[in-house]
Structure 1
Amino acid sequence: MTRRGLFAPALGFLAAACSPLSLLNSLGPRDPGARRVARDIAYGQDPRQRMDLYAPTAPGPYPVLVFFYGGGWDAGSRALYGWAAQALSARGFVVALPDYRLVPQVVFPAFIEDAAAATAMAAKVALRHGGDPDRLGVVGHSAGAHLAMMIALDRRYMQAVGRPDLIKAAAGLAGPYDFLPFDVAASRNAFGRAPDPTLTQPVTFVRPDAPPIWLGHGTADVVVHAEDTTILDARMKAVGGRSEAKLYPGLDHADLLATFSPLFRKKATVLTDVTAFFHHNLG
């Protein structure tokens, strides 16, 4: 399953494209009604295998979300994305915000294995803070969307952590889902050693019994083209899976997640659409 190299040639700049989003952590304002309730929760032995937890200030129980930030599989920190986790939490979710190991420390599939392990741990710890682990979803932006879709669609990762049925819904924002061949440095560095490259692609694992998925993309995104969202959505529907996709006119790669911030929320209804999807599917 090959086509144009996904980011061609913009993948090399994916981490840089995501970096302006990190500024929103210090610019503010933050959403009221939610706060960070735990930090540095370990889900493994590596220093990168840690997460923070956000929860509404009112008592639960609430559905649980695990949010994976982007950064080209080689950059990013949970310390820079608390504003996004808090925005989700303020809308009625207990939200886990994990770090994960990055290239060059690791290559595929280690960062996806981290995503699965973090999700399993989130289910355990969320219960202490008003979360209902039986209503858990995963969501990510950019490379984080790739992680979210891989653990939602490829059964092997959640099976490996003993929770094959934990994920009840998944959402991806501006995600790369079908990016063979590996023709730029970032994809070669992260995935180039994979014995079977097709097993790195979310579109390989579409299935009728997958959790429902929601996909959002900006039409002005030149980092990860909106074609990836439309392809995954079409492939899911072709096999009888539950999928919905929405394209946002004029939004670029960073814009899509920036609309989670109160500073840019009037640009598009992305946060409202994502949270409505999860409330509908998680109850």
Structure 2
Amino acid sequence: MPVALLLAVVVLVLATEYVAARPSRRTKDLAYLPTSVAGFDKERHILDVYSPNKASPSAAGYPVVLFIHGGSWTSGSKNIYTFIGRRLAKQGVVAVIINYRLAPAVQVPEQAADCARALAWTVQYIAEYQGDPARVFVMGHSAGGGLAALLATDDDLLARHGLPQNPVRGAIMNDPAGLDMYSYLKEMKYDGDQQYLVPFGKDPAVWKAQSPIYKIRPGIPPFLFFIGGETYPSISSSSGRFRDRLKTIGQPAPYTVIPGRHHIPMVLQMYWQHNIIYKGLLKMVGA
């Protein structure tokens, strides 16, 4: 690419981000665990809050979406997803974008615990950032989708980390992975599946305990699904089975397949404010 064209692209991207940033306020690197807690990780036990840069339309505050990044449970960072925080804040939602510890340092049960702690922090402190603690929703892409689904369905997990009542009002699934790792790891039908034994270990009881599909029951929050038409077969099949189980408890979940979308573009498309995912999300949260 010619240097002049490259510079033009960089300037355009920076200008676009500046325009998107003006209606929002980012508060970075807030610790969601006391720094004195044993095992506190200054890089992973932190989150960012994106607030609309205007007064709340109500005394209760704006609805809140806690977003959990993907990365096969071994990689990823909140810093990659500033565009999601900016776009949500611009549209009248307080966004909480979190980090959590990664494998191989820890496994999925510890990651789920980190997410629960971040949720507890959100409920306790989000009013200070114009958010309504009574309207907290969770969202995740890929591995983050599976972790978000655990927050919506595993009341015992939340109770162990300071939330005796589940505060989640809804869950938005963006091409989620990990909804049924019990079946997935028992089958081991795809090349490279051994890599998932790093975050999930070798105990089938743990696989099942960390699979939210087995925690579906009456009374859980509503779910909203967006699935890539060209995503991995394991994601589309497990998401479809999750939706079907929701139907059996009388809780149909809106389920949108986006034609032509592969797994990574499913989250990258959220760079654009008027994307179909935002339209469904804003309707769910009442923004």
Partner residue, 2:194: 185
For 1:249 and 1:27, locate their aligned partners in 2 and report how far apart those are by CA, in whole Å: 26
Match of 1:37 among 26, 31, 38: 26
Partner residue, 1:238: 248
Query: 1:175 offset after TM fit, Å?
Result: 0.4
Amino acid at match of 1:198: K
Partner residue, 2:80: 80
Q: Does the aligned pair in 1 maintain the 2:145–2:175 contact within 8 Å?
A: yes
1:225 has 2:225 as partner: no
Query: 1:242 offset after TM fit, Å?
Result: 4.8
SS at match of 1:243: coil
Q: Alignment RMSD, CA only? A: 2.1
Q: Deviations over 1:94-128 (max 9, x none)?
A: 11111000001101200001111001111222111
For 2:232 and 2:133, locate their aligned partners in 1 and report how far apart those are by CA, in whole Å: 36
Equivalence map 1:1-283=2 (5 Å): 27=13, 29-30=16-17, 31-32=20-21, 34-44=23-33, 45-47=40-42, 48-60=44-56, 61-163=61-163, 164-176=165-177, 177-179=179-181, 180-182=183-185, 183=188, 184-194=193-203, 196=205, 197-222=207-232, 225-262=235-272, 269-279=276-286
For 1:181 and 1:173, locate their aligned partners in 2 and report how far apart those are by CA, in whole Å: 19
Query: 1:244 offset after TM fit, Å?
Result: 2.0
Amino acid at match of 1:278: V
Amino acid at match of 1:126: I
Higher normalized helix content (fraction of residues) = 2
Q: Deviations over 1:237-268 (max 9, x none)?
A: 11223522111111111121122113xx67x5
Q: Does the aligned pair in 2 maintain the 1:42–1:50 contact within 8 Å?
A: yes
For 2:168 and 2:150, locate their aligned partners in 1 and report how far apart those are by CA, in whole Å: 11
Q: Which has the higher contact order (CA 8 A, sep 6+)?
A: 1
For 1:227 and 1:34, locate their aligned partners in 2 and report how far apart those are by CA, in whole Å: 39
Q: Does the aligned pair in 1 maintain the 2:73–2:108 contact within 8 Å?
A: no
- Structure 2 portions without partners, runs of 5+: 1-9, 34-39
- Identity of matched residues, %: 25
TM-score by length of 2: 0.82
Q: Does the aligned pair in 2 maintain the 1:226–1:247 contact within 8 Å?
A: no
For 2:63 and 2:131, locate their aligned partners in 1 and report how far apart those are by CA, in whole Å: 6
SS at match of 1:174: strand
Query: 1:178 offset after TM fit, Å?
Result: 1.9
Partner residue, 2:6: none
Tell which structure's C-alpha radius of gyration is larger: 2
Query: 1:92 offset after TM fit, Å?
Result: 1.2
For 1:33 and 1:204, locate their aligned partners in 2 and report how far apart those are by CA, in whole Å: 43
Amino acid at match of 1:277: M
SS at match of 1:204: helix
Amino acid at match of 2:145: A
Segment of structure 1 superposing worse, 252-261 or 203-212: 252-261
Change (3 A) 1:99 1:34: farther
For 2:130 and 2:278, locate their aligned partners in 1 and report how far apart those are by CA, in whole Å: 22
Amino acid at match of 2:184: P
Q: Does the aligned pair in 1 maintain the 2:117–2:161 contact within 8 Å?
A: yes
Amino acid at match of 1:252: H
Q: Deviations over 1:151-206 (max 9, x none)?
A: 11111111112222211111110002123232313321111244512112111111
Q: Does the aligned pair in 2 maintain the 1:211–1:242 contact within 8 Å?
A: no
Q: Does the aligned pair in 2 maintain the 1:108–1:194 contact within 8 Å?
A: no
Query: 1:222 offset after TM fit, Å?
Result: 2.5
Partner residue, 1:13: none
